[in-house]
Amino acid sequence: MLESTTPILEVRNLTKHYRLVQAVKGISFSIPTGICFGLLGPNGAGKSTTIEMIEGIKKPSSGEILYKGAPRGEDFAQQCGIQFQSTALPDFLLVREVLALFHSFYDKTLAIDELVTLCDLGEFLDQEANRLSGGQKQRLLLALALINDPEIVFLDEPTTGLDPQSRRRFWHLIDRIKKQGKTVILTTHYMDEAESLCDDLVIIDHGKIIDQGSPQALLQKHLPHRQVSLHTETVIESAAVTGDVSATPGVVTIDTLSVEKTLQELMAFDLDLSTLRVHNPTLEDLFIKLTGHALRD
Ligand SMILES: Nc1ncnc2c1ncn2[C@@H]1O[C@H](COP(=O)(O)OP(=O)(O)OP(=O)(O)O)[C@@H](O)[C@H]1O
């Protein structure tokens, strides 16, 4: 019997060489059951190659992949759910027909009604699948990835190219899937997506993991300071506040470990605080700090 502490998936020292490129250079991580795990990195970092090796679509050059503590069996592809970056759907079929078709491929399935509710497909069931909007198509592809009621679901850049509203709607669906106890593995180059969805993540650059942990833990570890900034002509001496003060004409910025303390100290200056802003570091800031370059370079 699987112990509750056994990770649902473990990757040990995974590498992948293409002819001229070493795309993945020794990646290791383990994923507990029921979380959303992210592989975050810029284009070409090696995210898709890594996820495709785990899915069984690409063969690793070396390394080990364990599913529930053992090498993946022949039927792994049947047991997991995969949402590809793009999937060709049969021409002229309505969404309800596509669902019925894919449903017929598997022995173990989720009921179509349940999929429709889970992925918000109700409003376009009678439309042609190949004429859906980007957001609708991604919801349909998610439903297809869930059709065999998998315990583990792989989503490779599922929201790339979607408008902000469709992206957020998709995030809600991922939350719903997690609430069902499924483990979600997600690749993304959107920092806000990783921050909002992932319980745990690896940051990948040039085929290597540069750090891993929960978004909060990583931010706390590398960027514990908050930035408090304020439009004012008043000179604020460093000695008067807790934190590092820097000033440009008309703006004072204080890097602080305690926003509360800094605010209390600022009150003593009798300033107009209406322009005060507190900047919490983001994963984007973290990525720049760790790699020295922006995510979309
Ligand atoms: N089939 C292939 N043959 C040769 N090189 C490849 C192949 N697939 C990927 N690569 C190279 O391997 C590296 C990693 O690519 P990969 O697609 O895994 O990155 P990624 O992080 O998923 O990027 P993206 O976000 O653009 O999908 C890149 O340099 C890419 O050009």
Residue with CA closest to ligand 1 atom 28: 44
**Confidence tier at 297 by pLDDT (50, 70, 90):** low
Structure confidence by residue, pLDDT tens digits, 197-231: 999 999 999 999 999 999 999 999 999 999 999 99
Structure confidence by residue, pLDDT tens digits, 36-61: 999 998 888 999 999 999 999 999 99
Task: Work out the widest C-alpha separation in the chain, in whole angstroms.
Answer: 72
Q: Walk me through the domains of the chain, giving residue ranges and CATH numbers.
A: 9-220 (3.40.50.300), 224-280 (no CATH)
Burial 121-156 (b: 16+ CB within 10 A, else e): beebeebebeebeebbbbbbbbbbbbbbbbbbbbbb
Task: Give the residues across from 253 on adjacent strands.
Answer: 229, 246
Pocket of ligand 1 (CB under 6 A): 18, 21, 23, 41, 43-49, 189
Residue among 15, 20, 47, 59 to mutate when testing ligand 1 (max atoms within 8 A of CB): 47
What is the CA(68)–ligand 1 centre distance, in A?
27
Residue 43 backbone phi and psi in degrees, to 5? -55, 135
Q: Give, in order, the Cα–Cα distances in Å from 227 to each of 3, 32, 219, 277.
A: 44, 34, 14, 8
The answer to whether residues 14 and 51 touch, using CB atoms and an 8 Å cutoff, is no
Q: Number of C-alpha atoms within 13 angstroms, CB side, residue 288?
A: 8
Q: Which two tokens stand for residue 219?
A: 């931010």
Q: Give, in order, the Cα–Cα distances in Å from 253 to each of 223, 230, 247, 268.
A: 16, 7, 6, 17
Question: Model ipTM?
Answer: 0.96
- Please state, in angstroms and rounded to a whole number, the distance separating the CA atoms of residues 190 and 276: 28
